[in-house]
């Protein structure tokens, strides 16, 4: 047994929110073999298992996390030439995501350039089908190598097996089953950058290189405090705390009526709304601000980012319960004004006794 399992390890420093209690037991694994050893260790000791990447999309309860928390630290990026101009990039789960984007862009491989600046590790990207500025990892995903805890074996899930959707996947819906070990993407050598997102297309010439697009995305993200920057007062966050609600026509009509009746817009087309698989995707940040929650709002030691209404921030010395109370307040306001229920994007860690996200 080469594993170094520690007891009572504070998790806050391992998360971008810097909140929450300790792990009952904790181990960092640097290879697939160690990861599988950790799974066996948990089984042998009757411990619940929780996996942690870069901690940028999790909320740790103040009471901590019971069982064994396994931090994925297996590294490595490989390339394999495929048909035509396709190249398969395989990243180990513990590889920092920005290294993956950098490896692709610096080799002129198109497909991930708009996903720059997203904190965390490669293994977490399929969990919520990470996306930004017009790209989602699902656009390029070929396969996810997993350990299937239900079957007790290593498996390769194809893209369709992952059932990816907007900020969602089968892996997210079934968190106790799959451990992500590695992720593979199909990229295009010499391919054009994706300029699908309005704000990005406006900021980039149509002839922009992959590196220029990446640079522009980073600049846009920085303005919204959406990169990890130690000098940014909004730096302790989990990115967007709420997903954009995807609603049916009836709910959308209620939103329009509420916005017009309250004088929040003069015309329906002033409400940001995008088609999404036959439904309508609303902008959660717009709903939050129009419901009366403003950027920079503070509730004690937590608040709303001064740069982005969708991000909740921790100002230091706070608690997860304060953060969840603020999230609950925001959800209640949006529900009262628009009759829309906002869903929380980050995952609340802790298989036992964890309070539900509001
Ligand atoms: C400033 C900021 C900006 C962000 N911007 C974006 C954005 O633009 N788009 C976007 O989609 N997200 C964004 N995020 C959210 C977050 O960065 C992504 O969701 C990221 O992929 C999470 O990676 P992580 O390694 O930190 O995962 P963690 O937060 O450690 O884990 C997230 C979830 O995945 C599970 N998990 C992690 N690794 C594994 C594994 N190997 N096997 C099984 N389960 C695993 C965890 O148990 C947890 O449930 C942002 C976050 C921050 C702080």
Active site residue 177: no
From atom 3 of ligand 1, which residue's Cα is the shortest distance away?
239
Nearest ligand 1 atom to the CA of 125 is: 21
Q: Which residues pair with 183 in a beta bridge?
A: 91, 144
Share of the chain above pLDDT 90, in %: 95
From atom 4 of ligand 1, which residue's Cα is the shortest distance away?
239
pLDDT band at residue 350, thresholds of 50, 70 and 90? Answer: confident
pLDDT one-digit tens code per residue, 218-228: 999 999 999 99
Q: Which of 228, 226, 220 is nearest to 203 (CA)?
A: 220
Model pLDDT, residue 357: 65
CA of 174 to the centre of ligand 1 (A): 16
CA of 124 to the centre of ligand 1 (A): 5
Model pLDDT, residue 141: 98
Number of Cβ within 10 Å of residue 46's Cβ equals 7
Pair of tokens at residue 259: 């916005």
Q: Is the pLDDT of residue 311 over 70?
A: yes
Model pLDDT, residue 2: 79
Nearest ligand 1 atom to the CA of 56 is: 26
Active site residue 240: yes
Q: What is the mean pLDDT of residues 157-180?
A: 95
Model pLDDT, residue 229: 95
Selecting among 159, 167, 214, 221, the annotated active-site residue is: 167
Nearest ligand 1 atom to the CA of 167 is: 11
Pair of tokens at residue 115: 């996903």
Which residue in this structure is represented by tokens 């298989």?
351
Say which residues have a Cβ less than 8 Å from residue 53's Cβ, sequence separation at least 6: 71, 72, 93, 94, 120, 121, 123, 124
Q: What is the mean pLDDT of residues 160-183?
A: 95
Q: What is the pTM of this model?
A: 0.96
Say which residues have a Cβ less than 8 Å from residue 272's Cβ, sequence separation at least 6: 282, 283, 286
- Tell me whether residue 205 is exposed, middle or buried, using C-beta atoms within 10 angstroms of its C-beta: 0 to 12, 13 to 18, 19 or more: exposed
Model pLDDT, residue 354: 52
Active site residue 319: no
Q: Is the pLDDT of residue 355 over 70?
A: no
Which phi and psi angles does 142 have, rounded to 5°? Answer: -105, -50
Selecting among 145, 240, 322, 331, the annotated active-site residue is: 240
Q: Which of 325, 351, 335, 157 is nearest to 241 (CA)?
A: 325
Q: What is the mean pLDDT of residues 113-121?
A: 98
Pair of tokens at residue 249: 């026509």
Model pLDDT, residue 179: 97
Number of H helices, E strands in the chain: 8, 21
Q: Which of 296, 290, 297 is nearest to 342 (CA)?
A: 290
pLDDT one-digit tens code per residue, 122-137: 999 999 999 999 999 9
Q: What is the mean pLDDT of residues 326-346?
A: 96
Say which residues have a Cβ less than 8 Å from residue 138's Cβ, sequence separation at least 6: 126, 129, 131, 159, 162, 164
From atom 34 of ligand 1, which residue's Cα is the shortest distance away?
124
Mean of per-residue pLDDT scores for the chain: 95
Q: Which residues line ligand 1 (CB under 6 A)?
A: 16, 50-58, 72, 93, 118-121, 123-125, 127-128, 130-132, 175, 179-180, 226, 228, 237-239, 347
CA of 86 to the centre of ligand 1 (A): 27
From atom 9 of ligand 1, which residue's Cα is the shortest distance away?
131
Number of Cβ within 10 Å of residue 330's Cβ equals 25
Nearest ligand 1 atom to the CA of 57 is: 29
Share of the chain above pLDDT 70, in %: 97
Pair of tokens at residue 1: 């047994």
Q: What is the mean pLDDT of residues 102-112?
A: 98
pLDDT one-digit tens code per residue, 233-278: 999 999 999 999 999 999 999 999 999 999 999 999 899 998 988 9
pLDDT one-digit tens code per residue, 3-58: 999 999 999 999 999 999 999 999 999 999 999 999 999 999 999 999 999 999 99
CA of 254 to the centre of ligand 1 (A): 33
CA of 263 to the centre of ligand 1 (A): 37
Q: Is the pLDDT of residue 353 over 60?
A: no
CA of 267 to the centre of ligand 1 (A): 37
Separation CA 200–CA 195 (nearest Å): 6
Nearest ligand 1 atom to the CA of 128 is: 19
């Amino acid at each position: 047994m080469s594993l170094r399992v520690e007891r009572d390890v504070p998790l806050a420093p391992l998360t971008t929110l810097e909140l929450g209690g300790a792990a009952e037991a904790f181990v960092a694994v640097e290879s697939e073999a160690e990861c599988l050893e950790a799974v066996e260790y948990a089984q042998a000791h009757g411990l619940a298992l929780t996996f942690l990447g870069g901690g940028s999309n999790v909320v740790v309860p103040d009471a901590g996390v019971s069982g064994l928390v396994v931090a994925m630290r297996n590294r490595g990026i490989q390339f394999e030439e495929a048909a035509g101009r396709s190249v398969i990039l395989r990243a180990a789960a513990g590889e920092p995501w920005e290294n993956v984007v950098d490896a692709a862009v610096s080799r002129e491989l198109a497909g991930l350039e708009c996903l720059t600046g997203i904190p965390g590790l490669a293994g977490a990207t399929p969990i919520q089908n990470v996306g930004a500025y017009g790209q989602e990892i699902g656009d390029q995903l070929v396969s996810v190598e997993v350990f299937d805890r239900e079957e007790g074996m290593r498996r390769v899930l194809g893209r369709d097996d992952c059932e990816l959707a907007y900020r969602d996947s089968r892996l997210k819906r079934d968190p106790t089953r799959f451990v992500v070990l590695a992720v593979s993407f199909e990229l295009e050598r010499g391919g054009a950058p994706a300029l699908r997102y309005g704000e990005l297309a406006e900021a980039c010439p149509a002839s922009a290189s992959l590196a220029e697009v990446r640079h522009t995305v980073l600049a846009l993200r920085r303005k919204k405090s959406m990169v990890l920057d130690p000098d940014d007062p909004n730096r302790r966050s989990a990115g967007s705390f709420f997903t954009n609600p995807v609603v049916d026509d009836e709910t959308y009509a209620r939103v329009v009526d509420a916005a017009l009746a309250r004088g929040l817009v003069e015309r329906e087309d002033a409400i940001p709304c995008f088609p999404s698989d036959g439904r309508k995707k609303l902008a959660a940040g717009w709903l939050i601000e129009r419901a009366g929650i403003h950027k920079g709002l503070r509730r004690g030691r937590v608040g709303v980012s001064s740069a982005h209404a969708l991000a909740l921030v921790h100002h230091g010395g706070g608690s997860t319960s304060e953060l969840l109370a603020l999230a609950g307040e925001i959800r209640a306001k949006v529900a009262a004004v628009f009759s829309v229920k906002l869903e929380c994007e980050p995952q609340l860690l802790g298989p036992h006794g964890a309070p539900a996200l509001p």
